[in-house]
Chains A and B, each alone.
Chain A
Amino acid sequence: MSGVHMSSRRMFLSASGFSVAIPFLSSLLPRSVLAQTKRPRRFVAFRTGHGGIWEENLLPSASTLTERETLLPGHEVSWGRLKREVSGGRAVVSKVLSAPDSLFSERLLGKMNLLRGLDVSFYLAHNTGGVLGTYNSASGPLPAELTVPTIDQIMAASPGVYPSGVSMRARSIYTGTAGSQCSFRYKDPKNPSAGIEGAPWVDYALSTLPKMLFTNQTPTSASNNGPDRKLIVDAALADYKRLRQSATRLSAADRARLDQHMERLYDVQKRAEMYKPVTCTDPKVDDNPGWGDLPYFQAMNDIIAAAFACDVTRVFSINCASETFDKVHAGDWHTVAHEAGDSEAQQNVLWAANQKMFELVVLDLARKLDSASADGVNTLLDDSLVLWGQECATPSHHSVDFEVVTMGGAGGAIKTGMYVDYRNKIPMCASSGGEARKAFPNWLGVPHSRFLATALGAMGVSRQEWQRPDGPGYPNMPFDSKFMGASRYVAGELAAASEPLPIIT
């Protein structure tokens, strides 16, 4: 049997009363999807601000970690199968990772991973792109070795994700709440040394994306009588070239900026060329829920699921800022996040908000992706990698021992259903926090870049596309000697910074 397999007639029924019906029929799927021997892989990243959730609120009991495996001589990691306790209609892995039993099913639990022990090797504090590898920091501009795009943009540019000849509506979508840029790309892909810039952010996403992804309006012309985009871009390019090549006084730096602008115009042309006509149905989401709050993201999930089903884009990155939690706590999130390290009252606010994020956004998308299949065997979730990461590690403003939640197997590239603790509990790896503070990380783990390498590899991006010449890892992270010297990792740990994470691959 071919086509899409439905879990129910109404494909997506979101939680908390927000209802969206998508008449999801096999005719929605382009033949190209069905005909592909290698199933397309999809990627979604949710990034939330703050972090700082105490481990007893975020993580399951240590007794879950029943297995041991030697990663390197001197570094043994522990892992176990994720388990849920069901009581009173709720399935609980931890306080944060809990949801109604009907939603947080054994099936979805089996497609989930929880990872901890992912380290950034320098003081990071505030950042917006760290989850995806651009460790922009409030403490100052990035050094050159860290000025790299986020992995979603590497995926967007990769032939591993978009083989030659595949047409799309967009190579990636970056949206969510504004103000915290979490997706970055090269300013000039031909010249990485020119640095990075924020990836374009889709505003008014719930009304913009359906038009962008599901309606057939030729990009070359607004209407028969209106201005012609292609002609205008061609004319503009000629204009910029004319100025650049003029004999009048322009410095080399002036000309370089004209070149940059022309690159942007070429990009407009390229997008027009890969434009894909679709026969998909607009998911018709309510485009006016509270901006940036949880129902907003549930509507976004409907769009993501429909976009993957129609194969009009394969990469989404979503920023969820403090506004996302405002329905949980309408106060000053800045204070909550910063005081939650020591104040139980503030910590309770923080974990409760993140629980909502998990249940109503992350699991919501997983359920929707798991309700549709392109080949009758594997669901869209099976072919996807969905991740949820946070700004900071267990204590806010700290960068050792990041945790990541993933959903989906990326077409079999990721093993799932596991809780993996990558920390190395030998004295040498004890971090500077010691036992002085509740929830302070105690042990160094593995470079965060290994998780990024895992995600890139799972999506079919070859290492040559992202490996940096300045050292292992993406990116090659510098060490702040006052923070945690390189010598505190066991031999071979850092050299393996480009390797996929063991246990889950």
Chain B
Amino acid sequence: MFKDPAYARPLFLTMAVCLSLAACSGQVTSNGQGRGSNDSPDDGSGGGGGSDTPGTGGVDGEGSPKSFVCDQSKTWQDAPLRKLTAPQIKNTLSDVVRYSLPKSGAEVMQAVDRQLALVPIELRPQIADEPHGTFRRLAQDITQQGVDAWLDVAMAVASEATTALRLPELVGACATDTDKANDDACLRTFVAKFGARVQRRPLAKEDLDSYVAVAGASPITAKGIANVVATILISPRMMYLVEQGKDAVAGVQGRYALDDWELASRLSYQAWDAPPDDSLLEAARAGGLSNPDQWKAAVNRVTSDARAKKTMEKFFEEWWHLDELPDAAGLSNEKAYKSFAGGDLPDATWKPAAVRDVLEFVNYIRSGGDGGRLSDLFRSNAVFPSTDALAKIYGVSTWSSGEPRRAPGRDGLLTRPALLYRANPAGRTNPIMKGVFIRRSILCDEIPPPPANALAEAAKTDTSKATTERQIAAVLTEAPGTSCAACHTYLINPLGFVTEGFDALGRARTMERRFDVSSGSVISTTAVDTKVAPRVTPDDDREVSDAKGLADLLEESGKPAACLAKQYFRYTFARVEDEEKDGCTLERIRSAAGDSLDDSLKAILLSNAFREKNIGIAAGGKQ
């Protein structure tokens, strides 16, 4: 039993990762299967490029792979009928409304704001190696709540877009004139144009006829047009990426090259979370996107657009769970926290500034800053503090734009306040969860759930003599012979201890102060010990004592690049990778990361997997 409640360890954090001996005896697991020798990482002819560097393949011990095997004879299994995410549908609606109502579209979107607010946002689905949830794009459930909400939105948009004042703008003067003879042509022209914009391709004749019929008999009425608008806005080709392909891929049964319209949509939703713009639609209409050179040009244009930056930020934000940082502003009345924070007490601006700092850092590295490689994310001391409070923590002046500030001793991502921060009333760090983050999110090693008796075991542990978080974590989880020790001792805790040279607000420290929760007074001050053997790979027992040293081991292991490949693959294809069948695509991303983080992320857009779909049906339509 804990002898002093003030030192009581938040057991959930400890136990959430206290691993079973059987599952973790010296090794962490991976759901990967990539082993052995490697062929070319380039997955074929599409896209006009890709690395020729052969991957080394395989995994290190039982950990996650550091490269992938590209076996061209394997074919992947695509996610079936991908649903657009809520932000993607919203962006599509906004595009369509502004396109169809250039004068009053903004008013219409404003008028349906309430209905849009009721649309459920995808929750992060749990997967085996991300029990706290992976990317929202993988939330592909078709929920009643979603269908209901989009129906309401579609009806609201239809209602607003067809008011007496807006109907001529939407359909044309022919909709409201007294000439009934032009009604049919008027209606068909509108439906064809509106439908094509919504569905990102020309309407098939049977669809056109069907939508026209929804409007009812002549004369054209606002109600009839509203019914058409709402019907098209909830149509399957609006809500889903309906991809049926064009030409069968030679020699690979069931795989088809996407047609130009499908390519345009894939690219724009991947890069912008938004529908194709006029240029992409025009390129699709002209059939240019099937051409590798024109495709590459389109990729370069789309990924250079400002919208691509936002989408990429979303990827990193979700990957590193930056959107889930707790708020410390509520701790401002806690005595211990006030003592801990001193003049750095966070206010409401602290968290967004800390997240912005990381995202600007990634943008900087992606743009080629400080070498521009993935490994530079773990080495660069470029910082982007947009508030005085964050700048003070870094010991630099506030940044607003342009070149970054330089913070000596801040080597890479793992030293950024957003990743060190913890909202604890006594200002305590959490080395265990820091270790879990690196093991799980940076190295992509899978960590099994804790044993069921973890809480009970920890409850019996006396931590009263421990005066640092490192000591407490060690007492609780590293006792020889306990079910927690195997993983915590070697694979989790060291990765968290190495950044204990920073406190729970991300301030550099050499001494760790502990505070009495009730009075806020300092109970102890102890030198911080950051020397560890982080075992980035299971058989590597070299020691480091700071983030810089860890960065060397990370780069040498190759695992962060492989992890990036897996994560970006998931974000792109809305499914969990199969390391064997998706090996070519994964290896293509991974191998590019050594030269350029940005090129690595673009590489997926040039892969065959992005430009083709395994529909699982042989040419001719037989399954």
| Interface presence of B5 (CB below 8 A) | yes
Cα(A495)–Cα(B206), bound, Å: 58
Chain B residues, Cβ within 8 Å of A238 = 210
The stretch of B34-42, B180-188, B239-247 in contact with A is B239-247
Q: Give the shortest distance, in Å, between B552 (CB) and chain A (any CB).
A: 33
Residue of A nearest to B131 (CB): A140
Q: Which of A202-256 contact B (CB under 8 A)?
A: 203-204, 222-229, 231-233, 235-236, 238-240, 242-243, 247-254, 256
Chain B residues, Cβ within 8 Å of A252 = 616, 623
Q: Which of A160-218 contact B (CB under 8 A)?
A: 181, 187, 197-201, 203-204
Q: Give the shortest distance, in Å, between A37 (CB) and chain B (any CB).
A: 33
Chain A residues, Cβ within 8 Å of B81 = 250, 253-254, 257-258
Q: A125-B16, A251-B616, A432-B456 are in contact. Are A140 and B449 (CB under 8 A)?
A: yes
Q: A249-B245, A331-B334 are in contact. Are A341 and B424 (CB under 8 A)?
A: no
Q: Which of B608-622 contact A (CB under 8 A)?
A: 615-617, 621
| Interface presence of B594 (CB below 8 A) | no
Q: A122-B452, A396-B12, A440-B459 are in contact. Are A139 and B131 (CB under 8 A)?
A: yes
Chain B residues, Cβ within 8 Å of A334 = 326, 423
Q: Give the shortest distance, in Å, between B485 (CB) and chain A (any CB).
A: 15
Chain B residues, Cβ within 8 Å of A243 = 236-237, 242
B227 near A249: Cβ-Cβ < 8 Å? no
Cα(A238)–Cα(B235), bound, Å: 10
Q: A260-B142, A335-B424 are in contact. Are A139 and B148 (CB under 8 A)?
A: no
| Interface presence of A85 (CB below 8 A) | no
Chain A residues, Cβ within 8 Å of B12 = 125, 338, 396-397
B460 near A436: Cβ-Cβ < 8 Å? yes
Residue of B nearest to A204 (CB): B118
Q: A198-B145, A235-B231 are in contact. List 16 more A-B contacts (CB 8 A).
A: A138-B132, A141-B128, A232-B214, A239-B210, A248-B621, A249-B256, A249-B615, A249-B621, A251-B616, A264-B144, A264-B148, A268-B151, A331-B333, A335-B424, A338-B12, A433-B459
B155 near A222: Cβ-Cβ < 8 Å? yes
Tally chain B residues at the interface, Cβ within 8 Å: 84
Residue of B nearest to A179 (CB): B123
Q: A249-B256, A397-B15 are in contact. Are A225 and B452 (CB under 8 A)?
A: no
Chain A residues, Cβ within 8 Å of B307 = none
Q: Give the shortest distance, in Å, between A443 (CB) and chain B (any CB).
A: 14
B330 near A331: Cβ-Cβ < 8 Å? yes
Cα(A331)–Cα(B335), bound, Å: 12
A187 near B333: Cβ-Cβ < 8 Å? no
- Of listed A181, A251, A260, A268, residue having the most chain B CB within 10 A: A251
| Interface presence of A107 (CB below 8 A) | no
Q: A267-B144, A268-B148 are in contact. Are A242 and B210 (CB under 8 A)?
A: yes
Chain B residues, Cβ within 8 Å of A395 = 455
Chain B residues, Cβ within 8 Å of A239 = 207, 210, 231, 235-236
B455 near A258: Cβ-Cβ < 8 Å? no
A140 near B126: Cβ-Cβ < 8 Å? yes
| Interface presence of B143 (CB below 8 A) | yes
B456 near A330: Cβ-Cβ < 8 Å? no
Cα(A334)–Cα(B16), bound, Å: 14
Cα(A393)–Cα(B344), bound, Å: 38
Q: List 24 A-B residue pairs with CB atoms under 8 Å apart, sorted by A's residue number.
A: A140-B131, A198-B145, A222-B159, A225-B222, A232-B151, A232-B214, A236-B234, A236-B235, A239-B236, A242-B206, A250-B81, A251-B616, A256-B80, A258-B236, A261-B142, A339-B10, A341-B11, A345-B518, A398-B455, A436-B460, A437-B1, A438-B1, A482-B451, A484-B452
Cα(A345)–Cα(B159), bound, Å: 56
Chain A residues, Cβ within 8 Å of B6 = 343
Chain A residues, Cβ within 8 Å of B230 = 227, 232
Residue of A nearest to B160 (CB): A226
Chain B residues, Cβ within 8 Å of A480 = 452
Tally chain A residues at the interface, Cβ within 8 Å: 78
**Contact of B330 (CB < 8 Å), options: A203, A268, A332:** A332
Chain A residues, Cβ within 8 Å of B127 = 141
Chain A residues, Cβ within 8 Å of B13 = 338
A242 near B5: Cβ-Cβ < 8 Å? no
| Interface presence of B586 (CB below 8 A) | no
Q: Give the shortest distance, in Å, between A81 (CB) and chain B (any CB).
A: 34
Cα(A123)–Cα(B617), bound, Å: 43
B 316-352 to A, binary, CB cutoff 8 A, 1 in contact else 0: 0000000000101011011000000000000000000
A335 near B423: Cβ-Cβ < 8 Å? yes
Binding site for B on A (CB under 8 A): 122-123, 125, 138-141, 181, 187, 197-201, 203-204, 222-229, 231-233, 235-236, 238-240, 242-243, 247-254, 256-258, 260-261, 264-265, 267-268, 330-332, 334-335, 338-339, 341-345, 395-398, 432-434, 436-438, 440, 480, 482-484
Q: A249-B617, A268-B148 are in contact. Are A235 and B236 (CB under 8 A)?
A: no
Chain A residues, Cβ within 8 Å of B616 = 251-253
Q: Which of B547-601 contact A (CB under 8 A)?
A: none
Q: Give the shortest distance, in Å, between B383 (CB) and chain A (any CB).
A: 27
- Of listed A232, A267, A330, residue having the most chain B CB within 10 A: A232
B425 near A123: Cβ-Cβ < 8 Å? no
B207 near A242: Cβ-Cβ < 8 Å? yes
**Contact of A240 (CB < 8 Å), options: B2, B236, B333:** B236
A227 near B223: Cβ-Cβ < 8 Å? yes
Cα(A229)–Cα(B16), bound, Å: 48
A261 near B239: Cβ-Cβ < 8 Å? yes
| Interface presence of B226 (CB below 8 A) | yes
Q: Give the shortest distance, in Å, between A240 (CB) and chain B (any CB).
A: 5
B 228-266 to A, binary, CB cutoff 8 A, 1 in contact else 0: 011100111101101011000000000010000000000
Q: A249-B244, A397-B15 are in contact. Are A226 and B155 (CB under 8 A)?
A: yes
Chain A residues, Cβ within 8 Å of B123 = 181, 198
Chain A residues, Cβ within 8 Å of B235 = 236, 239
| Interface presence of B154 (CB below 8 A) | yes
Cα(A260)–Cα(B123), bound, Å: 19
- Of listed A240, A248, A332, residue having the most chain B CB within 10 A: A332
| Interface presence of B217 (CB below 8 A) | no
Q: Give the shortest distance, in Å, between B23 (CB) and chain A (any CB).
A: 11
B231 near A236: Cβ-Cβ < 8 Å? yes
B617 near A331: Cβ-Cβ < 8 Å? no
Q: Give the shortest distance, in Å, between B6 (CB) and chain A (any CB).
A: 8
Cα(A223)–Cα(B456), bound, Å: 61
Q: Give the shortest distance, in Å, between B519 (CB) and chain A (any CB).
A: 11
B8 near A339: Cβ-Cβ < 8 Å? yes
Q: Which of B421-456 contact A (CB under 8 A)?
A: 423-425, 449-453, 455-456
B132 near A482: Cβ-Cβ < 8 Å? no
| Interface presence of B158 (CB below 8 A) | yes
**Contact of B453 (CB < 8 Å), options: A122, A345, A432:** A432
B451 near A227: Cβ-Cβ < 8 Å? no
A345 near B5: Cβ-Cβ < 8 Å? yes
| Interface presence of B120 (CB below 8 A) | yes
Residue of B nearest to A333 (CB): B330
Cα(A239)–Cα(B206), bound, Å: 10
Q: Which of B262-315 contact A (CB under 8 A)?
A: none
Q: A240-B236, A265-B147, A267-B144 are in contact. Are A483 and B214 (CB under 8 A)?
A: no
Residue of A nearest to B460 (CB): A436
Chain A residues, Cβ within 8 Å of B8 = 339, 341-343
Residue of B nearest to A342 (CB): B8
Q: Give the shortest distance, in Å, between B447 (CB) and chain A (any CB).
A: 10
A332 near B331: Cβ-Cβ < 8 Å? yes
Q: A227-B159, A227-B223, A232-B154 are in contact. Are A397 and B231 (CB under 8 A)?
A: no
Residue of A nearest to B256 (CB): A249
Chain A residues, Cβ within 8 Å of B326 = 332, 334
**6 A-B pairs closest in CB distance:** A483-B452, A253-B80, A123-B452, A200-B145, A264-B147, A139-B449
Chain A residues, Cβ within 8 Å of B206 = 242
B145 near A232: Cβ-Cβ < 8 Å? no
Q: Which of B1-52 contact A (CB under 8 A)?
A: 1-2, 5-6, 8, 10-13, 15-16, 20
